[in-house]
Every structure is written in structure tokens, then in C-alpha cells.
Amino acid sequence: MDSTLACLAAWMPRQRWYAAKGRPPSLRLVSWWDLPSDVGDVHARTYLVADEGALPSVLYQIPVVARATEAVEADPERIIGSPAPGTTLIDGPFDPAYADALLRLVAGGGTATGPQTRVIGRAVAASSPQQKVPARVLSGEQSNTSIIYEGDGTPVICKVYRQLHPGLNPDIELQTALAGAGSTRVPRTVGWVDGSWPDLETAHGSVTGSLAFAQEFLPDVQDAWRVALQAAARGEDFSDRARELGAATAEVHVALAERFPTRPAGPADRENTAQTWRRRLTTAIAEVPDVAGRRDAAEAVFQRALEVDWPPLQRIHGDLHLGQVMQVPVRGWVLLDFEGEPLRPMAERRRPDLALRDVAGMLRSFDYVAGSLRRDEPQRSPQLVSGWAGGARRAFLAGYAERSGVDLDAGNALLEALELDKAVYEAIYEARNRPTWVAIPLRAITRLVDRPDGHPSTPSSNSASSGSGSSSVDSSTERAYHASHSPISR
């Protein structure tokens, strides 16, 4: 086993989902289980390994396929290593033996066991899955690995969670509840895999959590980021589509409030939120000196939000932006990835929160579109770029208000504070990871704290909206956009 851990330790730092960049893992085997393979002597095994070099320790799910070395035809980038002469380990999702076995488990149900571990496939409607369905891995993901199955039946996408946490993943919980209630605003659920494994924190007993989630795959569609960026680059009015997106977002919020408990926002909720705002602002001032001159004005925005009534807290998407929404023919806008911020503890991601947090995230996302055009095509008129974003923001808020009944027309101090906090979050991210981009959120912070009426919907014509990406709408644009929304802390 030591040789296998050594192979994993050398391979993991090159993977996008490995959290501790720049540091070699310190791995301990926690458990494992096998999935039956119908391919001769090919062995599909999933390891649970704890990286104890991180504080707290991070638990990773690592599916592997062991094949005879002479028979391996995998891409060298997908090869983990050779722990024993004549045997080569391949990253499981990229090998058909694991992909087939996972689909059988999640779509047909079943169990698998290992040391102090039990894994259960929970099919929504158990059936006999198609055999040998062509499978491929979705590129560009940061935190998970998704396998797409496109055979003769309904296409399926199965997300394998790489970092594991105790508790039901809200990605499964919320989307399954919405789809089960007949909502067309989320993909239909196929099934999921959960399990129990040894508890890392107590060193005895076990915890339960989510391992994988399979749902309807929507092929040949574009996410709202691409749709919006293309429209902005062509100077097309986006108001009608933004209004529909606002209505779709509100429809999901209303449905979640009907299906999950809500509760009033009490003094402790306000104080915890205020502490988070102030802590993040302090961090930004320390790391982004240009924020320091805006401290008093930013704190005034936060204070105004604490002096108004807050709506009830409810379950929300938790990480909503244009990249999390697909434009689907006939169905319209469909929301994806209700996982929340992947690096937050599962218990935090499942807590009731402010629905306006999702609204603020989408407003920032429209600004990202406009900011990307100004950054990469400086010859564009700042007024036209700001006007595009302002029209999209106003339309999104109007559609949201119409469907939700929440009055946002006259300005909303809470929404303003949430949007400002998101911009501060972005400033920290850019300073840490892409310093040449930090001017983008700084312009947004200036706009948000200097606006005299506190209205959250319209950027001024003299300060361009913030953003990231590129107007060329290529894969690098998409990666940059999603990276700019990666979790820092909340």
C-alpha cells in the first residue's frame, strides 16, 4: 500500500481538484472499496485518502483502475503510476471500466463495501442501465470530476465529488427536491451515491456523506456566461433574456422556500453576517491597498443594511453566476450546481441564507461580462459597455421582482451590501491570483460605495463594470471566468 500512496502523492498535486497547491501531500489511507468490473482482470477500486499536511485534514475520493502495464493505452496525463511491476494505475473516471461500473451503481442501485465503509447507489427509478455507454470526462472543472454518458438513451452526467465532507451534499438535496416537484428549472435526477466511512475528526466511529450525483445531461447548449458575453460583444440588447433569467431565479427561490424550512433572520444572523463583511473588508485593505481609502464608505454601506428589515432565511443556490445557468431550447434557463462554495463545510452550505445573496452574485456576473470587454478591448466605449450591463441588471431585477414579489425597484440596502461584499471577495481573489486584474473589482467597489442613492441596479457611465474573461468567448475565457468565482472564504 505504501507504493500506491507514493504514486498518489506524486500525482495529486498536478490535479485541478487538489486543494493545497505548491505543497506535496502527506497521505494516509482511510478506506477503500471495489466496484465490479466485467473486463477480465481489470480492477476498479476507489481509495479514500486523507491529506494530513492540511489543517484541517482534507479527505479525497480517488477512483483508480489497475491494468496490466503492457495493455495500457491511456493518455499519459491520466496515468497515476506503477505501484508494482507489471501493473499501472489509471485515474478512474478516464477509464471505461470505472465509468461503466459507476453508471451501473448510480442508475441501477446496489452496494459496495470496504474497511469500515459502506457505499450505496440510490437510483431515482431503478432500471437496468445501458451497457458500455460511451463516456467522456468534462473538461475544465475545478473541484470535482464529471463523467458524461451519451448512448442511445437520455444523456447522463455523473459528478464524482473529489473532496468529501460529512452530510448530504446540497447539490443532490436541492436539485432532487426541485426536480421531484416537477420543476423544469433544474436537470432531472438519475440517482446518487452516498456512503459511510471512518470519522477523521474523532478517529473512531463513522460519518456519512455524498460521493457522486448523476442527472440529466443537457447537450449542445450554452451557459448564460457565453450567451451574455456574445450578446455584449455584438452590442445586442440582453434585457429580455436577463428578465427571463431573473424570473427563473425567483421561481427557484420560491420553490425552495416552499419545500424547505425557512426562519426569521435573528440578531445572531445579522451579527455573524456583519462580522464576515468586516473581516473580509479588513483582509482586502491589508492585501489591496487601494481599498483602504474606501473603508469608511464601505462600512457605511454595511451599516445601512443592518438597519433595515431582513427577509426570512431560506435554502439558496449559494454560488450563483452566469456560468451556473444553461439556456435550453423550450425549457428556457436551467440552473445547475447547487453545491454551494465547495471549500465551505457542508453544514454551512446547508444552512438557510439570504436569497438576495444569489441575486447579488448574478449582478456581479453581469458586471464581469462588461468588465471583460473593457479590459480586453479598451477601444470600446466605456459608456456603451456600462449601458449594456446596466440594462441587463435592471431587467434581471425586474424579472426577479415580478416572480418573487420582492420589491427591488426603489433600491435595497441589503442587496447593495451583499453585492459590495462580493466585489470585496473578488478583489482579494484577484490580488492573490491575478494581480493585473485587480482593477476590475476595484472599479466595482468604487461604484458601489460612491452611489448616492444606494440603488443596486445600474452602473454609472463613468465607471466601467467589473469582470473577467475575454470577449473572444473561448475556453480560456471560460476558465478565467470560473476561476474568478472560486471560493476564497465567506
pLDDT digits (tens, 9 = 90+) for 51-77: 998 888 999 999 999 999 988 887 888
Lowest-confidence pick of 178-187, 424-433, 445-454: 445-454
* Whether residue 13 has pLDDT greater than 50: yes
DSSP secondary structure letter of residue 78: G
| Mean predicted confidence (pLDDT) in 394-423 | 91
- Residue whose cell numbers read 440578531: 267
Q: How far apart are CA 101 and CA 210, in angstroms?
A: 17
Q: What is the pLDDT of residue 378?
A: 85
| Mean predicted confidence (pLDDT) in 284-296 | 94
Q: Which residues pair with 212 in a beta bridge?
A: 160, 193
| Mean predicted confidence (pLDDT) in 216-226 | 94
- More confident of the two residues 301 and 24: 301
CATH class as words, domain 222-484: alpha beta
DSSP secondary structure letter of residue 462: T
Q: How far apart are CA 464 and CA 335, in angstroms?
A: 28
Q: Which amino acid does the sequence have at 96?
A: P
The DSSP-derived string for 140-179 is S-SSEEEEEE-SSS--EEEEEESEE-BB--HHHHHHHHHH
Lowest-confidence pick of 35-39, 393-397, 438-442: 35-39
| Mean predicted confidence (pLDDT) in 174-180 | 96
Task: Give the contacts of 267 (CB within 8 A, at least 6 positions apart).
Answer: none
Domain ranges of the chain: 2-16+25-216, 222-484
